[in-house]
C-alpha cells in the first residue's frame, strides 16, 4: 500500500469509502444525531471521523461542524512529517433565508 503524502489524503479515503486503504474501521458511538468512527490505515495512522446531524454545543464555535476528521495516531514511519490534529472539517450547508 502506498503511503499517504498529506493528512488530507486520509480524509479523502474515508469520504470516498476506499476500504482497501483501511486496516480496520470501528464504530465508537452511533446515535440518531452523532456518529464517531475510528479508521486505522495500513501505515498505522488512525483517523477519528465524527458526524453530527445538529450542533451538539452551539456555544462553542469549534464544535459546530457536520463532519470532522482528526488524525489521532501518526503513521509509522512518518516520512512526510504529518502532525496530529484536525485534518478536515465540513460545515453545515448554508441555508437560504
**pLDDT per position in the chain (97 positions), as tens?**
567 889 999 999 999 999 999 999 999 999 998 999 999 999 999 999 999 887 666 666 666 788 999 999 999 999 899 999 999 998 876 655 4
User: Is residue 1 in some structural domain?
Assistant: no
> Beta-carbon neighbour count of residue 54 at 10 Å?
11
User: Is residue 40 in some structural domain?
Assistant: yes
> Whole-model pTM?
0.86
Domain count within the chain = 1
CA distance 39 to 32: 21
Contact 14, 39 (CB under 8 A): yes
CA distance 73 to 47: 7
User: Is residue 97 in some structural domain?
Assistant: no
Range of the domain at 52: 8-90
SS3 state at 12: helix
Amino acid at each position: 500500500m502506498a503511503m499517504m503524502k498529506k493528512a488530507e489524503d486520509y480524509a479523502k479515503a474515508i469520504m470516498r469509502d476506499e476500504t482497501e486503504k483501511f486496516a480496520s474501521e470501528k464504530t465508537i458511538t452511533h446515535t440518531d444525531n452523532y456518529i464517531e468512527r475510528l479508521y486505522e490505515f495500513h501505515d498505522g495512522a488512525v483517523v477519528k471521523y465524527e458526524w453530527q446531524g445538529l450542533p451538539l454545543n452551539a456555544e462553542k464555535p469549534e464544535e459546530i461542524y457536520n463532519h470532522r476528521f482528526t488524525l489521532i495516531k501518526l503513521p509509522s514511519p512518518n516520512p512526510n512529517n504529518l502532525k496530529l490534529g484536525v485534518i478536515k472539517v465540513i460545515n453545515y450547508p448554508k441555508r437560504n433565508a
